[in-house]
Chains A and B, each alone.
Chain A
Amino acid sequence: GAVVSQHPSWVICKSGTSVKIECRSLDFQATTMFWYRQFPKQSLMLMATSNEGSKATYEQGVEKDKFLINHASLTLSTLTVTSAHPEDSSFYICSAGTVNNEQFFGPGTRLTVL
């Protein structure tokens, strides 16, 4: 099956710093990648849809200037949480879409902002 990796798997940072999370599709090309946020015991909340070579489409209520998304190639998308604050602490998960409309998820990144 398709494999999606994320890096780092966990990160702890100080309030006010920026954190970059990478999402890679390892064995297929993903024209579209998705970024989700998940709080404990809750479902996945879509933050944005990332298309290779174009600007990301953000869901309502998601600050595009705070959550910067770059989809520079067909195998890599990055999410940068700028000026992170404790309320940004969460589990961030990416997924990569295939031509058959399937979405394969990465293992997630646990962000803790102190």
Chain B
Amino acid sequence: GENVEQHPSTLSVQEGDSAVIKCTYSDSASNYFPWYKQELGKGPQLIIDIRSNVGEKKDQRIAVTLNKTAKHFSLHITETQPEDSAVYFCAASPGGYQKVTFGIGTKLQVIP
């Protein structure tokens, strides 16, 4: 089955700096890679996703890159703000309503 590794497990940055979270996956059949933000006591929220036919995708301050050859993908948050503080999960799926495998999560703290 799929195995998703995520690092770092915790990340502290100063407000305004960039944050990068990296993930690797094992199953070459995976072709859908979503990222979720989870605030304390809430369900995960889909913030951005990327599919295997795309190498990079950007949405305002958030960008995701994918390297299918190396089987790794990354989340980049620029100009971080205190409200970006949360736990971020990467995930991988072969698509077709099949299950999504999650990384362990990264607790991001943005220091004002």
Contacts and interface: CB of A to CB of B under 8 A. Distances in A.
Interface of A: 1, 4, 6, 31-32, 34, 42-44, 46, 49, 93, 95, 97, 101-108, 110
Contacts of A4: 43
A93 B44 contact: yes
A103 B34 CA distance: 9
Contacts, number: 49
Nearest to A49: B99
Contacts of A44: 44, 89, 102
Interface in B28-52: 32, 34, 36, 41-46, 49
Contacts of B49: 102
**Residue of B49, B97, B102, B103 ringed by the most chain A CB atoms within 10 A:** B97
Contacts of A93: 43-44
B95 interface: yes
A90 B95 CA distance: 28
Given A43-B104, A101-B32, A31 B97 contact: yes
B41 A108 contact: yes
A103 B45 CA distance: 9
Given A102-B34, A102-B49, A103-B34, A46 B43 contact: no
Q: Name the interface size band of chain B.
A: 20 to 34
B13 interface: no
B96 A105 contact: no
B93 interface: yes
Contact of A107 (B43, B89, B93, B104): B43
B86 interface: no
B46 A107 contact: no
Contacts of A42: 104-105
23 contacts: A1-B46, A31-B97, A32-B97, A42-B104, A42-B105, A43-B102, A43-B103, A43-B104, A44-B102, A46-B99, A46-B100, A101-B32, A101-B93, A101-B95, A102-B49, A105-B36, A105-B44, A105-B45, A106-B43, A107-B42, A107-B43, A108-B41, A110-B41
B46 to A, nearest CB: 6
